Amino acid sequence: MQHTSRGPTPHGHVTLVQVAQRAGVSAQSVSNALNNPDRVAPETRKRILAAVEELGYEPNLSARALRNRSSSLIAFKMRPARPDKASMLMDDFLYVLNASAADAGYHLILCHAEDGPAGEIKAYRDLLKKTSIDAFILAETHRNDDRVAALRSWGVPFAAFGRSWDGDEEVAWVDVDGCAGTRAATAHVAAQGHTRIGHIGWPADSELGEDRRAGWLDACQERNLDTDLQAAVVDSLENGRQAAHRMLDAARPATALVCASDTLALGVMRALHERGLRPGADVAITGYDDSPTAALVSPGLTTLRQPIDEVGRQLIQAVDNLMAGDPRTPQHVLLEPELIVRDSSLPGRRDT
């Protein structure tokens, strides 16, 4: 049946030339049939596509990358997982990021770098020199982020998970509204009748932490509640535990504690436990991130779930738009987290 003069390459790769021979046209026509359908006669196109199908042709991305200076690769740098971190956001995040990238015709390539911003920037530059990466995805951006500055100066498309805190309109970003999230959690416990609502958050140098704290402050002020109970500590279970003890030892102790992370909230639960108090029934607790642990502890921890799937999708869409040369200003997407109510914030009959 096969009447072509040459069989498939020994490597099993089908090339344009082979398809062309099969269809009785030139390689360029095959290329056109696939990339610029209007440049070939409908009749010919049909014949070519049939040949493509029969031979199972797939364009060689290396050759394309070389010719077009575009590799359909999107790069992302992972950070090492912190051992005490309760959340497993990164895992899910990478998965959807990759799935969305695949849907849009890209592949995700992981980038490794020495710790620190300088190492990361160097890694980006090396990758760019070597591979004509199409775009970058950044995570955990912060104020005056050197990575943002570097990528912009090189003119590479990129999008950040984390808003541009500098107010830089030229940067495409997707973020989750931490303020709205904490506000929702605070409103929720206020609705249970709590009036002494404390907040355990992070040190003031973290934009993310300040954003989340702001929601608690807003919600309290709207309701004319006291805002004297607050702590700013480094994220750890032990710090959450100690902060909780302080707030429960206060002259007018807290009856609800809104935390900036599940890790801190779990520390609070431990403190309650040590005092013989029941989460939910005696003191309401909320966390942030909906880590797997939040669902597994008893009672379950009320927390905020970030729409991580949507973040991934939007990030890919953002860079895709940039690459398409979309004239509109870079996308800015602020997503709402979802309040997951469990027993830790409800005065129900769950035992401690």
What residues make contact with a copy of itself under the rule CB under 8 A?
11-14, 56, 58-63, 65-66, 69, 71, 73, 78-81, 83-86, 88, 90-92, 94-95, 98-99, 101-102, 107-112, 126-127, 129-132, 154, 237, 263, 266, 269-270, 273-274, 291-293, 295-298, 351
Identify what 15 binds: a copy of itself, DNA, none; CB under 5 to 8 Å per kind: DNA
Identify what 110 binds: DNA, a copy of itself, none; CB under 5 to 8 Å per kind: a copy of itself
**Choice between 77 and 183, CB closer to a copy of itself:** 77
Q: Are 269 and 342 in contact (CB under 8 A)?
A: no
- Tell me the one-letter amino acid at 216: W
Identify what 28 binds: DNA, a copy of itself, none; CB under 5 to 8 Å per kind: DNA
As measured in angstroms, the least distance from the Cβ of 128 to DNA is 13
Distance CA 286, CA 312 (A): 25
Identify what 291 binds: DNA, a copy of itself, none; CB under 5 to 8 Å per kind: a copy of itself
The H-assigned helical ranges of the chain are: 16-23, 27-35, 42-55, 61-68, 89-103, 117-131, 146-154, 178-191, 207-222, 237-249, 262-275, 292-296, 308-323
Residues 6+ apart with CB under 8 A from 251: none
**Choice between 133 and 159, CB closer to DNA:** 133
- Long-range contacts at 139-144 (CB < 8 A, ≥ 24 apart): 139/76, 139/77, 139/79, 139/93, 140/79, 141/165, 141/173, 142/206, 142/207, 143/207
Residues near DNA (CB under 7 A) are: 9, 11, 13, 15-17, 24-29, 31-32, 34-36, 39-44, 57, 59-60, 63-64, 66-68
> Of 308, 335, 330, which Cα lies nearest the Cα of 319?
330
Identify what 296 binds: a copy of itself, DNA, none; CB under 5 to 8 Å per kind: a copy of itself
**Choice between 57 and 202, CB closer to a copy of itself:** 57
Q: Which two tokens stand for residue 341?
A: 């109510």
Identify what 39 binds: DNA, a copy of itself, none; CB under 5 to 8 Å per kind: DNA
As measured in angstroms, the least distance from the Cβ of 308 to a copy of itself is 10
As measured in angstroms, the least distance from the Cβ of 243 to a copy of itself is 16
**Choice between 53 and 140, CB closer to DNA:** 53
| Residue 299: how many other CB atoms lie within 10 Å | 20
Residues 35, 40, 42: CA angle, nearest 5 degrees: 110
